[in-house]
């Protein structure tokens, strides 16, 4: 008798949570964080490169990012990339250093970001439920093939549901924390 591989299910559910964590880090909360500029791609040396491969990003003040461009010829393309990234940021050049003030969020924008965070969390919940469905389908197939008894199927089904519930609770906890962070004035 072979047992179903719950480690694979846990790994896949953890992957959904990690994707959610990355999506949340890209949501602007009115506070400076280097991950805010992670999605920015710069036209550099004939190809598109992530900003962190042509510059160092630091938080110089709670509401200010500083981008130290390594090559002085890249200052204008980096500035243009940040402007065109649709993040609502307006960098100011100072030699090879770009200062990027993080504007205050208004109430309407905060609510909109909160809804976006909820949408990201729902996508993560769906991903976790899809992994659960795959696990349950595997149990049904194993029972049908005679590798698992009905009692074992029920036992493993409960285990998979428990793992799913833990991951959904983690997603809800992350969403609550992110929404509080967004709404904080």
What tens digit of pLDDT does each residue of 98-113 get?
888 887 777 887 887 8
Do 115 and 97 sit in the same domain of this protein? Answer: no
Of the listed ranges 6-15, 40-49, 122-131, 155-164, the one predicted with least confidence? 40-49
Residue 1 inside a domain? The answer is no
Do 69 and 116 sit in the same domain of this protein? Answer: no
Do 113 and 157 sit in the same domain of this protein? Answer: yes
Range of the domain at 170: 6-25+106-183
* Bridge partners (DSSP) listed for residue 93: 98
Give, in order, the Cα–Cα distances in Å from 47 to each of 50, 60, 77, 146, 163. Answer: 10, 29, 12, 55, 43
Give the per-residue pLDDT at 72: 84
Do 110 and 77 sit in the same domain of this protein? Answer: no
Do 19 and 72 sit in the same domain of this protein? Answer: no
Which of 101, 131, 149 is the endpoint of a domain? 101
Residue 84 inside a domain? The answer is yes
Number of domains the chain is built from: 2
Do 47 and 88 sit in the same domain of this protein? Answer: yes
Label residue 159 exposed, middle or buried (CB < 10 Å: 0-12, 13-18, 19+).
middle
Residue 131 inside a domain? The answer is yes
Do 92 and 135 sit in the same domain of this protein? Answer: no
């Amino acid at each position: 008798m072979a047992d179903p591989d719950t480690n694979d299910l846990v790994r896949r559910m953890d992957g959904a949570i990690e994707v959610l964590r990355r999506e949340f880090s890209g949501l602007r909360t009115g506070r400076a964080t280097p991950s805010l500029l992670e999605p920015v791609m710069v036209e550099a040396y004939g190809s598109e490169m992530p900003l962190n491969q042509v510059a160092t990003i630091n938080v110089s003040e709670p509401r200010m990012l500083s981008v130290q461009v390594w090559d002085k010829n890249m200052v204008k393309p980096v500035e243009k990339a940040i402007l065109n990234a649709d993040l609502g940021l307006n960098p100011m050049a100072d030699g090879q250093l770009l200062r990027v003030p993080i504007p205050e969020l208004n109430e309407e924008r905060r609510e909109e970001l909160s809804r976006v965070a909820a949408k990201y969390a729902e996508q993560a919940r769906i991903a976790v439920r899809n992994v659960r469905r795959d696990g349950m389908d595997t149990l049904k197939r194993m029972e049908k093939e005679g590798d698992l008894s009905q009692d074992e199927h029920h036992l493993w089904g409960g285990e998979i549901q428990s793992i799913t519930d833990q991951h959904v609770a983690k997603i809800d906890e992350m969403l609550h924390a992110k929404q509080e962070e967004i709404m904080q004035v």
